[in-house]
Amino acid sequence: MLNLETRRLVLWHFWIAFIAFFLALLLGEWQMYIRSPLRDWIGNPELYYRSVTAHGSAMGYVFPTLVAMGFGYAIVELALKQKLIGRRWAWTGFWLVVVGTVTAMIPVSMGLASVLYTFYPPLIGNAFYYIGVVLVVVGSWIWVALMSVNLHAWKKANPGATVPLAMFANVAGAYLWAWTSLGAAIEILFMILPVALGFRNTIDAGLARVFFSWTLHAIVYFWLMPAYIAFYTLVPRAIGGRLYSDTMARLSFILFLVFSMPIGIHHLFQDPQVGSGVKFLHAVFTGMVSIPTLLTIFTITASVEIAGRLRGGTGALGWVKRLPWHNPMMLAVAFSFILLGFGGAGGLINMSYQLDFAVHNTQWITGHFHLIFGGAIVIMYFAVAYDLWPHLTGRALKNGRAMRWQLWLWFFGMIVLTFPWHVVGILGMPRRMAYFDYSNPAIAPQAITVIVTFIGGLLLVVSGLLFLLVLARGHRSELATVPTFSFSVPVHMPARQPAALNSFGLWLALMIGLSVVNYGYPISQLIGLPQTSVPAVPIGSQP
Amino acid sequence: MSDEKLWSLKNRWVTGSIAILLAIGLLAAAVGFIWLPRAHADENLAASLWESICRAAGVPARYDSPPLGAQAGASNVIVTAQMMAPADSAAIGRGATLAMRCTMCHGARGMSPAGSPHLAGQPAAATYKQLRDFKSGHRASAIMAPLMNELSDQDMRDLAAYYAYLPRERMSQETTEAVPRLVRNGDPMRNIGACASCHTVEVLKPASPWLDGLPESYLHQQLTAFRHGERRNDLNGQMRNAARGLTDAEVTALARYYASR
């Protein structure tokens, strides 16, 4: 059971996360609108990039970080069944994230930092934007430390016992984030901020991009962690089944820990400052990171099949019909897998050195990451919120119909949004475009796809609004006795897990070792190269 | 209570995971750093194993460009007073279209602050001759040579006609500097002719450009190249002969004078 104080903590995390999410969602839809043929061009591309920066920063840094933090605090109490240690620190972390978000968003909304959330040096925006992002990250580092502290306290109190899967996965996500956020932190603190504060006026853009790639890929796996924790520990229980294998789940999470970070250079396939051999190495390890996802799809599908058969389903596919399709969690996991399937297939294309040439920097990429993050991951955030809400509010969460509508709208809207992007991406439509000249005969036939993505976005906005309404109404329904929270139970729980699957030492060592192998040479070589800095390009009027 | 030790060679999780990771890493490195670069290596370059590893790792190598301007002789353009047909508007229009690709360096109207020479108002013969020399390799430029590859003789004539048609604008401040003696009279004792005898707008010598207002860095660079014999596309070595006797200070002063006009 959740302590009353912890409930408040988690609710604050979730509400700020979802409000940031909704505002960013509105901005995204506005971007779709103003560049579609549905209205005249606004005339100023800077407004568009201002919006993209706010949309990306809120969706990429604020929303998933707060969800992971809130969910992590809940897991400590629900899985370890111990009081959260360091609640005051947790509030400090929360306020750092909030203050950081406001600090970053003020210069962005004033048009002083339209550099997009991936920074893109040599573009340099207002220093407060970067300082805000650093505050958000520092806030999340407090969470990382608290997860580690709570796990160690539990291990001390329960020597030799197997760490509950939810907590094991949660801490894996925390360690992954700590290590991967280092790249962007180095980039901001040592490369961008000195320029933004006026101490220097040149920047080594190539090296900065390499440091950002350190963060850029694994950050997605940090976003993914709450979704995967939900797959393994919430879905089988919620639909009345069993988890097919606890060991497989642990394996997936440690594989993420080892492989998801030292592969980021596949974002730099078209960058000249990194050698082709290094790129190939990263492509191979990017291929390796599909293994934990494939393991997960197998394990969860097997777990769902168990639920279907327990409910009386028979035959090769008869169990599918018997699944509890009215259950939001069931819908969410099905939708998430479909979107993950399309997004993952696209991802395998992006990671192939040669195929990437065709789609690099096109709308295809925008489609890909919206499918994975906006689709597969965020739909599970919804499911997590629906599942936890009664335990956070102490009130029943009704409105099953509204929840189903919300999930259907999100699923359908995301497909309508992203599929046209994939098509025009192959046709060569570049991403990050503020404006399309529809009077150009070469572009005119693609205008319809921009209208379609606008309609997809509209469905997403309706779904997002519905989501907030369901949660808000959850606060006003009558108090109910909520059953004790439980995580899913595996079919077969091994009496003892091997030490390697019950601790992180080995995997952290491999993660760091592999990072040194894969990033050591490119980074040290670029640091050593003379004359690689270029003049910074200030964005917005500088103070 | 688990008494299993994690960090031990007997723990198969430790040895196994390290071995698998090493195997994947070594295999990937062998393919990425040895096999693929060897397979893709230009046979003429015959890179050694170590060279292909370095190349795949992204070690910057010295760029050996094919020799530029190795053509024998000064130029194969025959310069006469009648070498250019009188400009007609069709030729100028075609030239304007072709000139779209020149605007990045030479400006939208043939004048640019980029340090590249101004083309607006230059005699058509002067522009045409330089284009021909870039194409044939008599004048060396890693930037201009590839741009000339697909231009026909008529294209080059049209480009020259277009630039001759553009009005010459003033980009520098009016100067009150006295005309240097070298420009006015040259230095007969050193066998240096007067610059003004060819490079004056009113003189209209075929194929000799006017220099007024050209970027100082460009003038300095070209005069130095003539002086050291690195640029050799001047007819009968006219420019090389004139520049050979100049001192560093004179080169600087001349470049500054013409740039400020």
Where chain A has pLDDT below 50, the residues are 542-543
Residues B240 and B211 in one domain: yes
Choosing from A50, A237, A370, A422, the catalytic residue is A370
pTM of the predicted structure, to 2 decimals: 0.80
Q: Which two tokens stand for residue A382?
A: 């919804």
Q: Which chain A residue's Cα is nearest to B4? A: A499
Spell out the SS3 assignment of A278-335: HHHHHHHHHHHCHHHHHHHHHHHHHHHHHHHHHCCCCCCCHHHHCCCCCCHHHHHHHH
B10 to chain A: which residues are within 8 Å by CB?
Answer: none
What is the rounded distance in angstroms from the CA atom of residue A504 to the CA atom of residue A253?
Answer: 11
Q: Is residue B77, in this structure, part of any structural domain at all?
A: no
Cα angle vertex A209, ends B25, A199, to 5°?
Answer: 135
User: Helical H runs in A3-126?
Assistant: 4-34, 45-57, 63-80, 87-109
Chain B residues with CB under 8 Å of A288 CB are: 24
- C-alpha A32/C-alpha A48 separation (Å) is 10
The verdict on a CB contact (< 8 Å) between A500 and B21 is: no
* A-to-B residue pairs, Cβ atoms closer than 8 angstroms: 89
Q: What total of structural domains would you count in chain B?
A: 3
Low-confidence ranges of chain B (pLDDT < 50): 1, 44
Indicate the SS3 state at residue A490. Answer: strand
What would you report as the CA-atom Rg of chain A, rounded to the nearest whole angstrom?
A: 23
User: Do B149 and B206 fall within a single domain?
Assistant: no
Nearest Cα to Cα of residue A413 among A364, A368, A371 = A371
Which chain A residue has its CA at the smallest distance from B58's CA?
Answer: A275
- Peptide bond before A522: cis, by omega within 30 degrees of 0? no
Query: Is B7 inside any structural domain?
Result: no
Tell me the chain B residues in contact with residue A527 when contact means C-beta distances shorter than 8 Å.
none
Q: Which amino acid is at A31?
A: Q
* B179 & B133 share domain: no
Which pLDDT belongs to residue A143? 97
> Does residue B204 share a domain with residue B156?
no
Residue among B27, B31, B57 minimizing CB distance to A278: B57
- Are the C-beta atoms of residues A313 and A321 closer than 8 Å to each other? yes
Final residue in a domain of this structure, among B169, B192, B219? B169
For residues A347 and A368, is the Cβ–Cβ distance under 8 A? yes
Determine whether the interchain pair A496/B2 forms a contact, defined as Cβ–Cβ distance below 8 Å.
Answer: yes
pLDDT of residue B178: 82
Cα distance from B186 to chain A (closest Cα, Å)?
Answer: 42
B247: three-class secondary structure by DSSP: coil
Residues spanned by the domain of B38: 12-57
Taking the C-alpha atoms of residue B139 and residue B39, their distance in angstroms, rounded to an integer, is 36
How far is C-alpha A26 from the geometric centre of its chain's CA atoms?
19
Looking at residue A34, its pLDDT comes to: 94
Looking at residue B160, which CATH number applies to its domain? 1.10.760.10
* Residues of chain A found within 8 Å of residue B29, distances taken between Cβ atoms: 277, 281
Determine, for residues B14 and A258 on separate chains, whether the beta-carbon distance falls below 8 Å: no
* Of A355, A359, A358, A303, nearest in space to A333 by CA: A303
The answer to whether residue A475 is catalytic is no
Q: What is the pLDDT of residue B203?
A: 77
Of the partner residues A159, A500, A513, the one whose CB lies closest to the CB of residue B13: A500
Q: For testing the chain B interface, which of A255, A282, A284, A526 should be mutated: the one with the most B CBs within 10 Å? A: A284
Question: Which residues lie below 8 Å from residue A422, measured CB to CB, with a gap of 6+?
Answer: A346, A363, A364, A367, A368
| Whether A62 contacts A17, CB under 8 Å | yes
B27 to chain A: which residues are within 8 Å by CB?
A: 284
In DSSP terms, A243 is beta-bridged to A490
- Does B19 map to a domain? yes
Rounded distance between C-alpha atoms, residue A529 and residue A520, angstroms: 14
- Sequential DSSP letters for B142-207: TTHHHHHTT--HHHHHHHHHHHHHSPPPP-S----PPPPHHHHT-BGGGTB--GGGTSSTTT--TT
Per-residue pLDDT tens digits for A206-243: 999 999 999 999 999 999 999 999 999 999 999 999 99
Same domain, B133 and B216: no
Mean pLDDT, all residues of chain A: 94
Structure tokens, A430: 């570049």
Q: Which amino acid is at A93?
A: G
What is the CATH T-level fold of the domain A4-493+500-531, as seen in this structure?
Cytochrome C Oxidase; Chain A (1.20.210)
Q: Determine which of A255, A273, A280, A521 to mutate to test the interface with B (most B C-beta atoms within 10 Å).
A: A280
**Active site includes A61?**
no
The active-site residue out of A35, A50, A209, A217 is A217
- Are A470 and A399 a contacting pair, CB within 8 Å? yes
Q: Do B6 and A505 touch (CB under 8 A)?
A: yes
How far is it, in rounded angstroms, from Cα A279 to Cα A119?
22
Q: Quick check: is A431 catalytic?
A: yes
Q: Which of A162, A163, A261, A278 would best serve as a mutation to test chain B binding (most B beta carbons within 10 A)?
A: A278
- Residue-wise pLDDT for A177-210, tens only, equals 999 999 999 999 999 999 999 999 999 999 999 9
Task: From the candidates A322, A432, A473, A475, give the one annotated as an active-site residue.
Answer: A432
Q: Note the pLDDT of residue B68.
A: 61
Q: How many helices (H) and strands (E) does chain A have?
A: 21, 4
pLDDT at A543: 39
Is B257 found in the same domain as B195? yes
Is B68 a domain residue? no
State residue B205's pLDDT score: 81
